[in-house]
Amino acid sequence: MSRHRARPALRSAAIAAALCLLAGCAADRTELKLQAAPPPRGKTVLVDAFVPAEPAWERLARRLRSRLADDLSQTGEVTLITAQQASLPAQRPLVLSGELVAADTGSEAVRFLVGMGLGNASLRAHVRVVDSTSGQPVLEFDQTRTSRAGSGLGAHWNPTDMDNEIDALAAATAETVARWLNGQTL
C-alpha cells in the first residue's frame, strides 16, 4: 500500500521538476564596492545618465535610467528632482548614475540544446551614488541580472526580451538603493 502512495508523490515531484526546467528562472546579484552611512530620510535624488559601455546599448542604458527613476519614486524613500532643479542653490541632491557594463542576449540555440544555465542572457550595471555637497561617492555597487529562459522547449517558448531584463535590473537596483537609504544591510 505504501508503494502505491509513493508513486503519486514521485510523479508530482517529477512534474514539478519538469515545470521548473521549462519555466526557467532568473537571478539578481549585488556586489557592493563602497558603502557610507545613508543620508537622513527624505533625501532628494537626481537620477543622472547611465553610460553604455558599447554604443549599441544606448537604448538599453536610457531605458535603465528611466525605469530606475520610476522604480525609485515608487519606493517612497526619495524625492526625485530634475537636472534643472538640482542646479538651484537650495537643492543638494544625491546624484545616482552609472554605466551599463554588459548586455548579452545569450543564445537560444545553446539554451535549447544544452541548457543548465548555458546560453543565458545577462546584464550588469555599475551604479554610483554621489553626495553633491561633498562630491564624494557614498554608495557604489555592481548590479547583475541573469535570466534563464529555460532549456529545451522552454528556451524556444520563452525567448529573452532585453527590455524585460532591463526593467528587472532597474527594479533590483532601485531596491538596493532603497535598502541603503533605510540603513539596511546590503
Residue 150, domain member (yes or no):
yes
- Where is pLDDT greater, at 60 or 155? 60
Q: Which domain holds residue 92?
A: 24-181
Domain membership flag for residue 36: yes
For the domain that residue 145 is a member of, what is the CATH number? 3.40.50
Which of 70-74, 82-86, 136-140, 182-186 is the least confident region?
82-86
Residue 18 lies in a domain: no
Q: What is the pLDDT of residue 146?
A: 78
In a domain, 43, yes or no: yes
Looking at the structure of the chain, the number of domains it has is: 1
Confidence at residue 121, expressed as pLDDT on a 0 to 100 scale? 72
Sheet holding 44-52, edge to edge: 25-35, 137-148, 121-131, 94-104, 44-52, 79-80
Residue 8 belongs to some domain of the structure: no
Whether 171 is covered by a domain: the verdict is yes
CA distances from 162 to 30, 57, 100 (A): 19, 11, 13
Place of cell 508523490: 9
Give the pLDDT band (50/70/90) at residue 114. low
Tens of pLDDT, residues 4-36: 555 655 555 555 444 444 444 557 788 899 899
User: Could you read off the pLDDT of 35-79 as tens digits, one per residue?
Assistant: 998 877 667 888 999 999 999 999 999 999 999 999 998 987 788
Q: Is residue 68 in a domain?
A: yes
Q: Quick check: 94 and 138 in contact, CB under 8 A?
A: yes
Structural domain contains residue 113: yes
